[in-house]
Amino acid sequence: MAAQTILFDFTLDSAKTADEKQRQDVAKILRNELEHVFPQLELVYSMESPENGYFSVLHENKATIITCRIFQHGLLTVNVEYFLPAGKEPIMSFDGLVHGKSLENALAVKLKAIRGQKLPALRRGDVPRYFPSSDERIIEYDIDKLVYEERSPFQKIQILHSKTLGNMLLLDELQNIAESDLIYTETLMGRGIENYEGKEICILGGGDGALLYELLKENPKHVVMLEIDELVMQACNKYLNSICGDVLEKRRSDQYEIVVGDCVEYLKKFIAEGRKFDYVFGDLTDIPITGEPVGVDWDFIRTIFEHSFKVLKPDGKFLTHGNGTSCTESLELFEEQLALLKPKVKYTTSKAFVPSFMEEWLFYQVTFA
């Protein structure tokens, strides 16, 4: 069961919506055309104001609610909202009673619109299916099932099933990894480029277990993974074991150890002990989308930089994900923070299109200059 919302937008000649009488004439045309689709349409509320233009609410059989706005600059919006019980056909779809695109075309002709658009129905209230891209555009996923949902002391954890991506992990409603996303892990670790055999490695975060699982295939000397959220690991062990194998089940072997705790505190401990690594992975917070490098998230990123390079061997590497390649401003801010580090560092980047992110992401490989 879900509420369905269908959005129509039209751009009219602004001369046709400049005053109240003209907007009322447009509203009459609009209502007459809608009555062909919804024969029992009733006007329940209307308002005209200089600031907001024309606004009306109509309903059909008290089941479908339609809101119309006519703005004085020529923009007209129509929102159709209704509840769809399970097993019923939507009233506006390619297979339903009314072809929504046909209605959009008919309205555009009657209104002599410069342009018009009908968006696919937004389905709300059954399973989560709309999530943001890295630059905060809305992406609709083919989610058909909520597999797992809990709130840990640190974050909201969800595992959703996508028809094309498989099970997908979301933390605080941000995509993290899916069964489809081996390319993410392989690009982060530079598979085929980096040589991990006999190396000592530290993973910061990585609670889904995918990075650890793939690194162990490269025969490292030892890997320590520092993950703060026990509940993430339990969920991924149960529902994402196609990408993490049994590493989250065992937690420890001769080759690796998973430590549950704050990675910053453990990095401080390693610094005090003089422990050094060939590779440190930052599999943690995404680069924030902000105009300036200020706030808690940026402070955390700088702290991770500061401590990570203190536990790297002189020829070691810090590897991390950046953000979507469309987030140019936030990536530039991130690179500015790298340029401020002492001792100096240098970096290279790589890119990959990550299926569950539905966009290309940038990855960083940082070494001492």
Q: Which positions are annotated as active-site residues?
A: 283
Cβ atoms of residues 166 and 180 within 8 Å: yes
Instruction: Name which of 177, 187, 238, 228 is nearest 205 in CA terms.
Output: 228
Concatenating the DSSP letter of every residue in 296-339 gives HHHHHHHHHHHHHTTSEEEEEEEEEEEEETT-HHHHHHHHHHHH
Matching residue, tokens 């009555």: 35
Q: How many residues does the chain have?
A: 369
Q: How far is Cα 288 from Cα 112, in angstroms, rounded to an integer?
A: 44
Q: Give the closest residue to 217 by CA, choosing from 248, 245, 175.
A: 245
Nearest one of 332, 328, 325 to 351, comparing CA atoms: 325
Q: How far is CA 165 from CA 150, 182, 219, 356, in A?
A: 21, 11, 29, 6
Angle at which helices 20-37 and 100-111 pack, to 10 degrees?
A: 150
Angle between helices 263-273 and 296-308 (to 10 degrees): 20
Distance CA 153, CA 226 (A): 17
Q: Which residues contact 39 (CB under 8 A, 6 or more apart)?
A: 60
